[in-house]
């Protein structure tokens, strides 16, 4: 529908401290950039040492999202 949004959720290990999670997007699976069309909306603690991070598109789904690839980028903080 017109009000459908693309969402991504994934579990993280809360004991793995010092990690930063973000989404990256690509049109060709070669060049990846920080995904500006996705925003972090929640981190829900699951009660088992993990949490679920949730991201959602800032605009309703359209043809642009249908031709895009996404990946989770994990980076260690120093």
Three-state helix/strand/coil letters over the chain = CCCCCCEEEEEEECCCCCEEEEEEEECCCCCCEECCCEEEEEEEECCCCEEEEEEEECCCCCHHHHCCEEEEEEEECC
Instruction: Kindly state the tokens that stand for 44.
Output: 């829900």
pTM: 0.79
The percentage of residues in the chain with a pLDDT greater than 70, rounded to a whole number, is 90
Q: What is the mean pLDDT of residues 7-32?
A: 93
Mean pLDDT of 54-74: 82
CA dihedral over 16, 53, 7, 20, signed as positive or negative: negative
Whether residue 25 is contained in a domain is answered as yes
Domains of the chain: total: 1
Asked whether residue 53 carries a pLDDT value surpassing 90, the answer given is yes
Give domain status of residue 21, yes or no: yes
With a cut of 60, say whether residue 14 has pLDDT above it.
yes
The reply to whether 2 falls in a domain is no
> Does residue 62 lie within any of the structural domains?
yes
Q: Answer yes or no: is pLDDT of 8 > 70.
A: yes
């Amino acid at each position: 529908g017109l009000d459908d949004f693309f969402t991504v959720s994934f579990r993280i290990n809360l004991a793995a401290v010092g990690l930063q999670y973000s989404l990256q997007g690509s049109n060709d699976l070669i060049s990846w950039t920080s995904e500006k069309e996705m925003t972090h909306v929640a981190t829900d603690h699951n009660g088992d040492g993990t949490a679920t991070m949730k991201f959602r598109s800032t605009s309703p789904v359209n043809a642009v999202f249908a031709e895009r690839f996404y990946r989770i980028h994990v980076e260690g903080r120093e």
